[in-house]
């Protein structure tokens, strides 16, 4: 009977644990509670992914009120896959954060960090599992407010400016999304996503719905940092505590990409958005410009966290590029890159955080000679960096391979060529760091003190992600199967009918299991 409540537990557990962390007062107890709760959420998310792969869509009616009257939580392969990524990364980051935040966040604010982290996890999990458009906005704001707090916790006062810029842009994006949802409600009289899809399908062309879609896509584009609406992201990732940068780079923008996918494919419909509105061309152009512009900007950065931030915007371009191909193969490649990029960027930011802890700097000069003094950290960075480039036998190669294949299936030879050129730019900015670490001597100021390897509690989660980059580059049975099933479900013309037939009360779901 307890299993029937699994769809709502990834939201409820961190939501209850967040204030408890603050009440505990001691950072060690707060860390332990946050890590355990996040780990349990991850186990539940993985079990839900397995169930959706086997049984299809799951529906949970809060309070027993059936949709569309009540609030519904729903899980399919697409959001179950991303939920597993979010909760898994959250758990690893919390393990990593125990030592990481000691040098970057004042001791008095450690419990606030764990509280805000769990609230952010609550919001991200809610965004992924809710079946209500307005509740999606509510959970988006919960995660955003927690994120602004997390970014501002760093000892560096520049983090306050970065958090404020993030707050302003995030508020604008959320306002656009709320206006868009309001327009949908004004025209359809419902907020349930399934009900919205059915009622929007009755209109061939409607100015109110089109305007609502435009507002939503602009707002979501700000949240996911799609070029040219990305300027809030580099300062936030650069000046935030390293554990926060690792968490946000691996999860927050990926969830926003999912929100775009959900509105396009399950509410408005791919045919309406891409063929009637012509959004595929707009997204394609923005994605390609993001890949090249931000990859080039990354090559000239001296701060490694800033470099990785611009790299994240470029990698988001690959995800949007897959969506803009308007094929099952393209969407599958985009979903797969969401999964793989979380593994890459999490390991990279963790490695940079370890270097910052030992050297006091994230500048590329601080990496000189670290191949000898911090061999395990730099080895993990190297593996994740090769994955960003797309070297064979890494996770990054798999998603880029499927992206190129999807482009070639549509005879888009130029797009496939541009994807390959974008990967070459990644060689430049990753290569600069590897050159400094393995082929240059330490700077004079750094040689005056002994640089030790990172603590074990930071190395373990870092290497779990590094090994995952290799594992999912060799054995793609889980990642590719889940991404392919999700893409086929989203593109299936009868997806909404299947979803409707799969919707059932919590008691019926428990009986089915």
Confidence band, pLDDT 50/70/90 cuts, at residue 2: low
Using DSSP's 3-state secondary structure scheme, residue 390 falls into: coil
Using DSSP's 3-state secondary structure scheme, residue 192 falls into: strand
* 497 burial via Cβ count (<10 Å: 0-12, 13-18, 19+): exposed
pLDDT, position 496: 41
Whether the predicted pLDDT of 461 surpasses 90: yes
Other CB atoms within a 10 A radius of the CB of residue 68 amount to 20
Query: What are the residues whose beta carbons fall under 8 Å from the beta carbon of 466, sequence distance 6 or more?
Result: 347, 379, 380, 383, 384
The answer to whether the bond into 22 is cis (omega within 30° of 0) is no
Confidence band, pLDDT 50/70/90 cuts, at residue 195: confident
pLDDT, position 63: 65
Q: How far apart are CA 230 and CA 224, in angstroms?
A: 8
Q: How far apart are CA 8 and CA 125, in angstroms?
A: 9
pLDDT, position 64: 66
Q: How far apart are CA 50 and CA 45, in angstroms?
A: 9
Q: What angle do CA 334, 335, 339 make, to 5 degrees?
A: 115
Query: What are the residues whose beta carbons fall under 8 Å from the beta carbon of 310, sequence distance 6 or more?
Result: 234, 294, 295, 297, 298, 301
More confident residue, 448 or 199: 199
Return the axis-axis angle of helices 133-152 and 242-262, rounded to nearest 10°.
Answer: 160
Is residue 398 within 8 A of residue 268, CB to CB? The reply is no
Q: What angle do CA 305, 451, 94 make, to 5 degrees?
A: 50
List, in sequence order, every residue forming a beta bridge with 132; answer none if it has no partner: 192
Provide the token pair at 20: 């408890």
Is residue 59 within 8 A of residue 74, CB to CB? The reply is yes
Q: pTM for the whole thing?
A: 0.86
E strands, 283-339, are none
Is residue 368 within 8 A of residue 428, CB to CB? The reply is no
Confidence band, pLDDT 50/70/90 cuts, at residue 499: very low
Q: How far apart are CA 112 and CA 221, in angstroms?
A: 29
List, in sequence order, every residue forming a beta bridge with 208; answer none if it has no partner: none
Which of 75-79, 160-164, 239-243, 352-356 comes out lowest in average pLDDT? 75-79
Whether the predicted pLDDT of 371 surpasses 90: no
Q: How far apart are CA 238 and CA 225, in angstroms?
A: 15
**Radius of gyration of the chain, Cα coordinates, nearest whole angstrom:** 22
Strands 72-75 and 58-61: antiparallel
Whether the predicted pLDDT of 186 surpasses 70: yes
Confidence band, pLDDT 50/70/90 cuts, at residue 507: very low
Whether the predicted pLDDT of 446 surpasses 80: no
Q: How far apart are CA 13 and CA 18, in angstroms?
A: 9
Whether the predicted pLDDT of 129 surpasses 80: yes
Provide the token pair at 477: 């049975």
Q: How far apart are CA 277 and CA 124, in angstroms?
A: 29
Half-sphere exposure of 257 (CA within 13 A, CB side): 34
pLDDT, position 324: 87
pLDDT, position 502: 36
Q: How far apart are CA 321 and CA 419, in angstroms?
A: 9
Is residue 92 within 8 A of residue 152, CB to CB? The reply is no
293-349 tens-digit pLDDT = 888 898 888 899 999 999 999 999 999 998 888 888 888 988 899 889 999 999 999
Other CB atoms within a 10 A radius of the CB of residue 302 amount to 11
pLDDT, position 382: 93
Determine what percent of the chain is predicted with pLDDT higher than 90: 22
pLDDT, position 29: 87
Whether the predicted pLDDT of 495 surpasses 70: no
Is residue 59 within 8 A of residue 503, CB to CB? The reply is yes
pLDDT, position 349: 92
Helical (H) or strand (E) element with 315: helix 304-324
Q: What is the mean pLDDT of residues 5-9?
A: 79
Please give the full DSSP string across 51-87, using - where no structure is assigned: HHHHH--EEEEGGG--TTTS-EEEE-HHHHHHHHHHH
Half-sphere exposure of 513 (CA within 13 A, CB side): 21
Q: How far apart are CA 341 and CA 338, in angstroms?
A: 5
């Amino acid at each position: 009977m307890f299993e029937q409540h699994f769809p709502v537990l990834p939201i409820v557990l961190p939501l209850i644990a967040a204030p408890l962390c603050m009440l505990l007062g001691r950072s060690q107890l707060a860390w332990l509670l946050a890590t355990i709760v996040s780990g349990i959420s991850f186990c539940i998310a993985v079990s839900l992914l397995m169930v959706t792969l086997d049984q299809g869509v799951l529906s949970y009616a809060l309070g027993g009120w059936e949709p569309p009257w009540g609030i519904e939580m729903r899980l399919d392969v697409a959001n179950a896959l991303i939920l597993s990524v979010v909760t898994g990364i959250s758990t690893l980051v919390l393990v990593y954060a125990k030592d990481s935040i000691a040098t970057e966040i004042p001791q008095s604010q450690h419990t606030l960090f764990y509280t805000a982290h769990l609230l952010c996890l609550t919001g991200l999990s809610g965004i992924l599992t809710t079946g209500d458009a307005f509740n999606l906005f509510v959970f988006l704001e919960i995660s955003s407010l927690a994120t602004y707090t997390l970014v501002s916790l760093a000892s560096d006062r520049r983090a306050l400016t970065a958090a404020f810029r993030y707050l302003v842009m995030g508020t604008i994006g959320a306002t656009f999304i709320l206006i868009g949802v309001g327009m949908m409600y004004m025209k359809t009289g419902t907020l349930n996503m399934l009900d919205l899809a059915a009622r929007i399908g009755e209109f061939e062309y409607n100015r109110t719905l089109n305007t609502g879609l435009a507002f939503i896509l602009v707002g979501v584009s700000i949240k996911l940092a799609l070029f040219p609406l990305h300027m809030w992201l580099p300062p936030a990732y650069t000046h935030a505590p390293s554990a926060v940068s690792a968490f946000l780079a691996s999860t927050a923008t990926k969830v926003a990409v999912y929100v775009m996918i959900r509105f396009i494919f399950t509410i408005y419909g791919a045919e309406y958005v891409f063929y009637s509105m012509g959004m595929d061309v707009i997204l394609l152009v923005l994605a390609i410009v993001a890949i090249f512009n931000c990859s080039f900007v990354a090559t000239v950065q001296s701060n490694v966290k800033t470099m990785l931030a611009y790299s994240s915007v470029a990698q988001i371009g690959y995800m949007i590029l897959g969506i803009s191909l308007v094929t099952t193969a393209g969407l599958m490649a985009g979903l797969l890159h969401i999964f793989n990029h979380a593994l890459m960027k999490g390991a990279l930011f963790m490695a940079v955080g370890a270097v910052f802890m030992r050297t006091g700097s994230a500048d590329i000069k601080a990496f000189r000679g670290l191949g000898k003094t911090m061999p395990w950290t730099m080895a993990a960075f190297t593996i994740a960096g090769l994955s960003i480039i797309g070297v064979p036998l890494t996770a990054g190669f798999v998603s880029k391979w499927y992206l190129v294949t999807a482009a070639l299936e549509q005879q888009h030879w130029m797009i496939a060529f541009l994807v390959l050129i974008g990967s070459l730019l990644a060689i430049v900015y990753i290569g600069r760091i590897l050159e400094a670490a393995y082929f240059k001597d330490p700077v004079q100021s750094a040689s005056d003190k002994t640089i030790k390897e990172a603590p074990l509690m930071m190395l373990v989660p870092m290497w779990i992600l590094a090994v995952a980059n290799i594992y999912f580059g060799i054995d793609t049975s889980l990642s590719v199967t889940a991404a392919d099933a999700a893409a086929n479900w989203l593109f299936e013309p009868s997806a909404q009918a299947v979803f409707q037939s799969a919707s059932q009360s919590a008691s019926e779901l428990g009986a089915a299991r």
